[in-house]
A and B are shown apart, each in its own frame.
Chain A
Amino acid sequence: MASARAPAPDPGPAERASAVLALGILALRWVALTLMVLMAAITGDLRRPLLAGVAIAVTTAWTLWLTIARPRGTAPVLAADLAVAVGLLLLSGVVVPEGQVGSHPFFASVYPVAAAVFWGAAAGARAGLAAGALLGVSLVAAQLINGIDVLEATTPQLLSLASGALNFVLAGGAVGLVARLLERSAGELRAAAEEAMRAREQAARLSERESLARQIHDSVLQSLAMVHKRARELAGVEAVPAAEVARLAEMAAGQERALRSLILRRPDDAPGGTASLRANLEALARAELPIPLTVSATGPIWLPVRHAEELTAAVRQALDNVVEHASASKVAVFADEDDGAVVVAVRDDGAGFSYDEARLAAADKMGILKSIKGRVEQLDGSVRVETAPGAGTEIELRVPTRSEAG
């Protein structure tokens, strides 16, 4: 059952850590942006200040939007971020004085790291590594544009270039790894919490069932003792009083019903926050009713607790009505769930009546029926009455099953 009726669990430590990671990346962006502005302002020897200004404006706008909108790392957002980062790197080749890219701190040394990290956090270690690799390649390209002949470079220059490129890859990969670990432990925590909740509910149901069983067993034992004792006594009596035998039979019948309801089926595994309509209706059948009542259902029929209770209360009223007015010899309750609705029918073989709602209402004789309708309509349901004088009565309660879950 994938019904998501259980309340969303509070953010656990893992979720909080993920949020902190996202904030950290944003902070990194702002630090990098500041650094970029400072570099541009202090060094002052940029070859194309106007182009640098445009790049700073675009990066600022992008960072602002990321900060305000806090978008999730969807493919378009990730692509745009990587484009900004690659653009900054390539632009550096043109903006920074010749021979400076990669060997000294330069215009766009740091900001692209945020892109690699963002990829890792949003899409995992592999994506972080890939974005980092692309940035590394862009760094090499930026050096070429910057007039550094990579093939002619000295060993220290090469090492510096390699470590610069590697930084991007490592940052992306490492953060990706951490993000995935966080996600997994969040999932595990949630599963553990759900499992614990299920176990608690199951235990509660079991203990409820156990206490019910204890009660029933006790009353069955008492009745058996009674039947045993009286039957022995009656065996010695000449004229056995029929009324007494009937009373003993009735007592045994009641206990038999109660005990059977325990054995009938294995305990149902209820989804959280729900109750079994069948169980509720069967509890009604255990109450003493002056006419035989059968309860049947096509399944446990799980409903939100309030719906199950309201429906059961409506059925109880219908049964009271039958007992009081119908002079029936038997009554049956049947519950079914189909086509997005739960339908409960209460059917008796009694006197029936001529049903005309308008006339009954006018004569103020709606009585219990009105109350039943009230309960069912509260649940967006409807009531149908099928009866005729001499033909018994069938009251059908139809309530749509909530489909908001899932």
Chain B
Amino acid sequence: MSGAGADDQRLRVLVVDDHPVWRDGVRADLDASGRARVVAEARDGGEAIELARETMPDVVLMDLNLPTTRGVDAIRRIVEESPHVKVLVLSASGEEADVLEAVKVGAGGYLLKSATAGELVDAVVRVRAGEPVFSANLAALVLGEFRRMSAAVPNAAEPGLTPRETEVLKLVAKGYTYREIAEKLVISVKTVQNHVQNILTKLQLSKRYELMRYAIQRGLDRA
């Protein structure tokens, strides 16, 4: 490892995957980019939680299908313990329920494993910068989730989407990049990013409301 000193500007990444070949591939891609490097590798969720605590990486690259501790549970713990550590989900199957759950508990983005090296590095940098990495599929999934929530609990005190946020989400789902959306809506790219960030925050908040409602419900049932 060359130049891993204090002046190293490269992003520090923890790779969590149970396939060694895959971890090697990610390491090679990040090294080649010169913008990020792998500081630790974990094989399952438990190791990931420990290594995140020890190494305090900038970004955790997380597979969801892991032995023992589930990926989603690991993400929840990592984000709880170190809110400044960003998590990017890298999944082969992209099973919808899991991806949505991962984003709800705090993942900052989601990428399919078939993404190119360029896309991967780009996503790592964007997630680190606090910009949610939404694929068209994830955007549609999130929009559907908000629709279901407002249908299930109408007029709840929970934050729904503003018309503008819905519009932005639809455009992401149609495959527009943030830049294209900015041009289309005549707003800045930064504003588009803010909208997407707010959508993500509301989704994570809704998860907390959901847990609270559940707890209250159980309390009432017992009383």
Contacts and interface: CB of A to CB of B under 8 A. Distances in A.
Given A264-B95, A265-B97, A332-B136, A297 B174 contact: no
A347 B135 CA distance: 15
Given A253-B114, A294-B136, A298-B140, A332 B175 contact: yes
For B97, B140, B141, B148, the residue with the greatest tally of chain A CB atoms inside 10 Å of its CB is B140
A394 interface: yes
Interface string A268-297: 000000000000000000000000001011
Contacts of B119: none
Given A256-B114, A336-B140, A338-B147, A296 B94 contact: no
Given A294-B136, A296-B137, A336 B143 contact: yes
Contacts of B95: 263-265
A318 interface: no
Contact of A298 (B97, B147, B176): B147
B107 interface: no
Contacts of A359: none
Chain B binding surface SS class? helix
Interface in B172-223: 173-176
A319 to B, nearest CB: 13
B144 interface: yes
A225 B96 CA distance: 29
Interface string B104-116: 0000000010100
Nearest to A394: B174
Nearest to A349: B175
A285 B94 CA distance: 16
B96 A265 contact: yes
Interface string B79-123: 000000000000011111100000000000000101000000000
A198 interface: no
A334 B136 contact: yes
A106 B92 CA distance: 89
Contacts, number: 64
Contact of A260 (B94, B170, B174): B94
B147 A296 contact: no
A335 B143 CA distance: 11
Interface residues of B, number: 23
A345 interface: yes
Interface residues of A, number: 24
A263 B93 CA distance: 6
B139 interface: yes
Contacts of A338: 147
B96 A296 contact: no
A190 interface: no
Contact of B174 (A253, A299, A332): A332
Contacts of B140: 296-298, 334-336
B133 to A, nearest CB: 15
A263 B140 CA distance: 18
A260 B136 contact: no
A297 to B, nearest CB: 6
B93 A264 contact: yes
A264 B174 contact: no
6 contacts: A253-B114, A256-B92, A265-B97, A298-B140, A336-B140, A347-B174
Interface of B: 92-97, 112, 114, 135-137, 139-141, 143-144, 147-148, 170, 173-176
